[in-house]
């Protein structure tokens, strides 16, 4: 598995940027699946199911590749948090989250296309927001315009100023691809990047 082709089952530029860090060449292929939650499905169960379904859908088109699937949901008071889409909704979200916490659940799946063996996990990560003023929120939103980000922030940029602390092992989870958990799965799949010579 060390020299096998990798496929990232996503069109996300954020996930693509993170995966580049591992130094293994890869291609991207966005899966076409129904991402609707099932009745009574928990956030953890949803992201795990969708990560596996995304990877499986792409693995059918790349039968000899290693396919990486990921899905994420942010939850506030047990309810999913969507992408704001515009300035007004981003400001409204951040006002709601001031001095509160959001938990992100990221499902990961690594599938060996040749054997269909699946390695998967769910990585939780919690962010604790500072008590923010309306001016601080507006200044942040106008600076980074995080309209395509669940929770209305980009933790890899100025968004770090929104938080008091994190609970979780890997802040990359906030960007959509928890790299430590991914390395765990790659190790299980005999595709661990440090087992390859440069």
pLDDT surpasses 60 at 2: no
Close Cβ partners of 128 (under 8 Å, ≥ 6 residues apart): 101, 163, 164, 165, 166, 167
pLDDT in tens, 97-121: 999 999 999 999 999 988 889 999 9
Domain that holds residue 74: 6-195
Structural domain includes residue 119: yes
Does residue 105 form part of some domain? yes
- Domain presence at residue 1: no
> Which listed residue (27, 34, 71, 134) is catalytic?
71
Q: List residues bridging with 101 in a β-sheet.
A: 128
Q: Mean pLDDT across the stretch 74-95?
A: 93
Angle at 55 between CA 170 and CA 190, to 5 degrees: 65
Instruction: Give the E-state strand segments of the chain in sequence order.
Output: 6-8, 26-28, 66-76, 79-81, 101-112, 117-129, 163-167
Domain annotation covers residue 31: yes
Within a domain: 108: yes
The answer to whether residue 134 sits within a structural domain is yes
pLDDT digits 0-9 by tens, 22-33: 999 999 999 989
User: Could you give the number of structural domains in the chain?
Assistant: 1
Is the residue at 191 inside a domain? yes
pTM over 0.85: yes
66: pLDDT strictly greater than 80: yes
Quick check: is 54 in a domain?
A: yes
71 part of the active site: yes
* CATH number of the structural domain spanning residue 16: 3.90.950.10
> Looking at residues 70-95, what average pLDDT do you find?
93
pLDDT for 63 equals: 87
Quick one: pLDDT at residue 157? 87
Share of the chain above pLDDT 70, in %: 98
pLDDT single digits (tens) 119-160: 999 999 999 999 999 999 999 999 999 998 888 998 888 999
């Amino acid at each position: 598995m060390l020299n096998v082709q990798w496929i990232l089952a996503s069109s996300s530029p954020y996930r693509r940027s993170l995966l580049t860090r591992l130094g293994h060449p890869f291609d991207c292929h966005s899966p076409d699946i129904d991402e609707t939650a099932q009745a009574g499905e928990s956030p953890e169960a949803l992201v795990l199911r969708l990560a596996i379904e995304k990877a499986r859908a792409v693995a059918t088109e790349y039968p000899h590749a290693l396919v990486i699937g990921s899905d994420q949901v942010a939850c506030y008071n047990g309810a999913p948090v969507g992408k704001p889409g515009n300035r007004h909704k981003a400001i409204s979200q951040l006002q709601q989250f001031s001095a509160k916490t959001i938990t992100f659940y990221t499902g990961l799946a690594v599938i060996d296309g040749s054997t269909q063996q699946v390695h998967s996990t769910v990585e939780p990560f919690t962010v604790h927001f500072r008590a923010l003023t309306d001016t601080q929120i507006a200044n942040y939103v106008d600076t980074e315009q995080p309209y395509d980000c669940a929770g209305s922030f980009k933790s890899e940029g100025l968004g770090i100023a929104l938080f008091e602390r994190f609970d979780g092992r890997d802040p990359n989870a906030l960007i959509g691809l928890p790299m430590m958990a991914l390395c765990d799965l790659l190790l299980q799949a005999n595709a661990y990047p440090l087992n390859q010579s440069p």
